[in-house]
Amino acid sequence: MSKTRITAVDVGNDCVKALFGKVDYELYIPNVIARDTEDRPVIGIEELNDKDPLDGIHVRVHSPALKENNAIYRVGNLATKSDNPSELDPGSTKSEEDQTLVMLFTSLALDAVREENSPIFKKTNNVIDANYTLGTGLPLREVKEGKDVGYRSQLLGSVHQVEFLVTPKYQGLKVNIKFDEVKVYPEGFAAFINLVMDKDLKIINRDLIDKQILIQDIGGLSTDIAVIKNRNVDDDKAQGFNLGVSESLEAIREEIRKKHGVELDSRRDVVDIITRKNDRHHIMVKGSRTNVHDITDRILLELAKKQYRHLRNVWQKNSQTEICYFVGGGAIVLKDYIKMLNNSLDGYNIEFFEDENESIWMMANAYYKLVSDFVRKTSEPPKKNEKQTV
C-alpha cells in the first residue's frame, strides 16, 4: 500500500504554487492550459529527454470530476507558446472549472513521478499509484456559498489519472492519484494563519492575534477582503468581489498589440513587464526598447481606484480595524498605485509585503501549515503543552 504524502497546492489564477512532503519539493507552474493532440512534434526523443519536464508538460487527464474527461493538454510554459492558450476568465468560479483540476492533478503527478519518491509510491510497469493528503483553498466568496463541500467531494473517493504523453523524462508514465484527505480552507483565513504563525503553528506575531485586521487578497479573477476578529474570519463581514487583475492585464496586452504590433504570449508576460527589476514598463519593438508606461499606468491606476474603493467601503463598515494587509499576486502588481492613492486620500494603516516571493507563496505556505497540523493531530496522541493554537 502506498504511503500518503502531504501536499499544499495554491491554484492561483496566475500560477500554481505547490509544496510537497517536508517541503522537500516545490512547484511553480503558470496556470495556462491548451487543448492538444496526442502526438506533438519534437525534434528527436533523445533531445526531448535532455529538456526540463516543466517546459514540456503534455498530458492526458482522466477524472470523473472533469466535465471534459480524457482530454489532452499542454500545461504551463508549453501552453503559453500554443496558438490556443486558455487562462481562467473573469467571472469564472475556481471550484467549478476543469482548468483548476487539470492544474492540480498535473502538479501532483509531477511530484509522484520523481525518482526520489519511488520508495513512497508503488509502481507497476509504467503506472504509479500515489496517495496524497491535500491542503488547498478557495476564494472566500466560494466558501461562503458552500462550494468547498462539492469541490472536496469531487476529489475524495475517486481515482484521478494523469498520463504523460510527449513530456521530457516522463513520457509513457501514468499516475493514479487518490486522496486520503482533502482540507479546503478559505483564502482569507489562510493568509491570517501565515501572518501570525510559523511552520509549527507557533505564534510569531503576537501583536496581531487579538487585533481587528483586514486582509485584502487581490488575485487574477477576484478579490477577497477578510475581516479578522477574535482570531477568526467574521463570515458576515467578509467580502468577495469579482474584480481581479486579469481583465486589466488583458487590456494592457491588447493595447500593446494595437499600438505597437507586439503579440505577448500571455498575461504572465504582462506581469513581467510591470514588475521586473530592470527595464520595467518597457518592451522591445522591432529591436528597439520602447516605453509602454502610458498604457500600463492608465489601466492599472483605474483598477487600483476600484480596489481602493472596496477597501474604503469595508473599512467604513468595520471602523475599529487597526491595519489592512494586501496580499496576493495582484497586490504586487498594484502596490505602487494603491500606496499613491492612500497617501493622497484617506491615509489608512495599510501594509504590503516587500518580499514579493513571500506574498506569492503566502497561500501555499498557509495551506501547508494547516494541513500539516491536521496530520499531526490525527496521527499522534495530543501532548501536554504541545503547541499554541489560534
Top pLDDT among 8 and 226 is at: 8
Residue 232 CB neighbour total at 10 angstroms: 12
At residue 378's C-alpha, the angle toward residues 26 and 381, to 5°, is 125
pLDDT tens digits, 204-220:
887 777 889 999 988 88
Please check whether residue 262 is in contact with residue 273, taking contact to mean a CB–CB distance below 8 angstroms. no
pLDDT band at 1 (very low <50, low <70, confident <90, very high): very low
Distances from the Cα of 200 to the Cαs of 104, 127, 178, 249, 367, in angstroms? 25, 35, 26, 37, 12
d(CA 207, CA 58): 47
Residues in the chain: 390
pLDDT band at 42 (very low <50, low <70, confident <90, very high): low
d(CA 51, CA 289): 31
Share of the chain above pLDDT 70, in %: 94
pLDDT tens digits, 119-176:
999 999 999 999 999 999 998 888 888 999 999 999 998 999 999 999 999 999 999 9
d(CA 199, CA 205): 13
pLDDT band at 3 (very low <50, low <70, confident <90, very high): confident
Distances from the Cα of 36 to the Cαs of 13, 86, 100, 162, 390, in angstroms? 21, 12, 17, 15, 46
Whether the pLDDT of residue 313 is over 70: the answer is yes
Residue 285 CB neighbour total at 10 angstroms: 14
Phi, psi of 149 (to 5 degrees): -65, -50
d(CA 36, CA 61): 12
pLDDT tens digits, 236-268:
887 878 888 989 999 999 999 999 999 887 787
Whether the pLDDT of residue 40 is over 60: the answer is yes
**335: its cell numbers:** 502596490
What integer is the mean pLDDT of 363-381? Answer: 87
Whether the pLDDT of residue 88 is over 80: the answer is no
Nearest to 59 by CA among 150, 161, 156: 161
Buried b (16+ CB within 10 A) or exposed e, 84-107: ebbbbebebbbbebbbbbbbbbbb
What pLDDT sits at residue 332?
87
Query: pTM to 2 decimals?
Result: 0.86
What pLDDT sits at residue 27?
97
Buried b (16+ CB within 10 A) or exposed e, 18-36: bbbeeeebebebbbbbbeb
Whether the pLDDT of residue 383 is over 80: the answer is no
Residue 375 CB neighbour total at 10 angstroms: 17
Please check whether residue 348 is in contact with residue 342, taking contact to mean a CB–CB distance below 8 angstroms. yes
Q: Domains in the chain, ordered, with CATH?
A: 4-185 (3.30.420.40)
d(CA 245, CA 259): 21
d(CA 356, CA 100): 24
Please check whether residue 172 is in contact with residue 113, taking contact to mean a CB–CB distance below 8 angstroms. no
Query: Hey, CA dihedral for 249, 224, 306, 327, is it positive or negative?
Result: negative
Whether the pLDDT of residue 371 is over 90: the answer is yes
At residue 139's C-alpha, the angle toward residues 379 and 336, to 5°, is 115
The burial of 179, by beta-carbon neighbours within 10 Å (0-12 exposed, 13-18 middle, 19 or more buried), is given as: buried
pLDDT tens digits, 322-362:
999 998 888 889 999 999 999 999 999 999 877 778 878 88
